[in-house]
Amino acid sequence: MKAVVDAMDIDPKTGTTLGFYTFGEDRPNLLIISSMDGGSATGVYASYLIMKHLERLDRVDGSVTVLPVANPLAFRLGAKVSPLDSKDLDSVFPGDEHGTVTERTAWEIWRRASQADYIIHLKTNRQNCVSYVSAMHREYIHVRNLASQIALPNIVQCSGQRGSLTTEAAHEGIPVVSIEMRGDFDQVDSQAAVEVREAILNFMRIKDMITGERIETSVTLSGRLKHINVDTEGFFIPQVNIGESVQAGTVLGKVQDKVEVVSSFEGVVVSLSRMNYVFEGDIIARIAPPLVELRASSEADADEHSLKRRKW
């Protein structure tokens, strides 16, 4: 198949042009979005692999729209926020047609997202991690149904922060998930990209959008991620592996010549720092705990965003 390309100029002076590649014409429509910030090279590569696969097919029953780079300027500069207005794209949805560059970008993406039947947002985790699904699976059955049909073993409850694409689309009744995968700031983890490509293609097969053998999915629903911080400074040496199940009290690693870093929670280690130099307050691991009913107050304590590093 050949993609139909729709290029939208948001700000031609800075090269902010969104390129939407659509395969097929009918419904259901799957929208795949990557690189809302400057550190998602693995997500861009996964999008590329998906498009290359679709190009080899004779037909798609439905349609697949891919936006490989949702924030072109931030991607070129390797920045999380736009240098033009200092805004994070994934915090301003549904956007504003007459707003700043980032708000206009969000508005253009939202025009398509609000018409999609399924949305998958590809993100790159700055920390070494297993590929996992992040979604509002506790609140919405339509989100949980989508998440459970993606062949990745762990589904984590996301924060539900307003302005995020996954939050706003879920509130509008659209099945939407984020997939977080390995990848350094500006480098591609090809193994993670291939794993995510296969998971998304398998979802298309489950929905009878493309031909091919389906893989049965088996997933584990988890609560909000729990962060493990260090309270000292030095060389951190991990002693467990990502994807490993741990109990409260398990030693995750140690700060050389100083202290052991112990998990306070039971669950799966979805991300873990490689050996590096850490400062007091740094997050060295994220644990996906078993899904239990928690009070709203305790959920609010587990913010997904990294704490600021305290160097001094």
Give the pLDDT score at 312. 44
Contact in structure between 65 and 116 (CB atoms under 8 Å): yes
Integer Cα distance of 270 and 228 in angstroms:
12
Integer Cα distance of 298 and 169 in angstroms:
25
Q: What is the pTM of this model?
A: 0.91
Contact in structure between 164 and 95 (CB atoms under 8 Å): no
Q: Where is 41: in which H helix or E strand?
A: helix 41-55
Q: How is 107-149 classified by DSSP, letter by letter? A: HHHHHHHTT-SEEEEEEE-SS-B--EEEE-TTT-HHHHHHHTT
Q: How many CB atoms lie within 10 A of CB 102?
A: 28
Which residue is listed with tokens 């951190």? 236
Contact in structure between 20 and 64 (CB atoms under 8 Å): no
244 phi/psi in degrees, rounded to 5: -85, 140
Give the pLDDT score at 12. 84
Domains belonging to the chain, first-starting first, are: 4-220 (3.40.630.10), 225-300 (2.40.50.100)
Q: How far is CA 305 from CA 27, 80, 88, 149, in A?
A: 36, 13, 13, 27
Q: Encode the chain (312 residues) as per-residue pLDDT tens digits.
A: 899 999 999 988 887 899 999 999 999 999 999 999 887 889 999 999 999 999 999 999 999 999 999 999 989 888 888 888 999 999 999 999 999 999 999 999 999 999 999 999 999 887 889 999 999 999 999 999 999 999 999 999 998 899 999 999 999 999 999 999 987 667 899 999 999 999 999 999 999 999 999 998 999 999 999 999 999 999 999 999 999 999 999 999 999 989 999 999 999 999 999 999 999 999 999 999 998 744 443 444 444 444 444 444
| Token code pair at residue 170 | 């879920």
